[in-house]
Amino acid sequence: MIQGLIQTLLVRLLLAYYVSIQPHASLTNIGLAAPTATAFGIILNICFFFHLQKKLNAA
């Protein structure tokens, strides 16, 4: 759940806002915020998975 909130609020919304205030902003560039947030979420989940694996192997 935390991953979803981070992905939506911190990545997707902020990136879409940042791209929208740039000169010559286009809907294509603003729309790229969604797949970027998804890729960020995947990377975040993979990092968390490896963190848990490392933690479980150390115990």
What are 15-34's pLDDT values in tens digits?
999 999 999 999 999 999 99
> In the predicted model, is pLDDT for residue 48 greater than 90?
yes
> In the predicted model, is pLDDT for residue 12 greater than 90?
yes
pLDDT confidence bin for 1, thresholds 50/70/90: confident
Average pLDDT over residues 44-52: 95
The model's pTM is: 0.81
Measured between alpha carbons, how far is residue 44 from residues 8, 22, 31, 38, 53 in Å?
A: 13, 27, 21, 10, 14
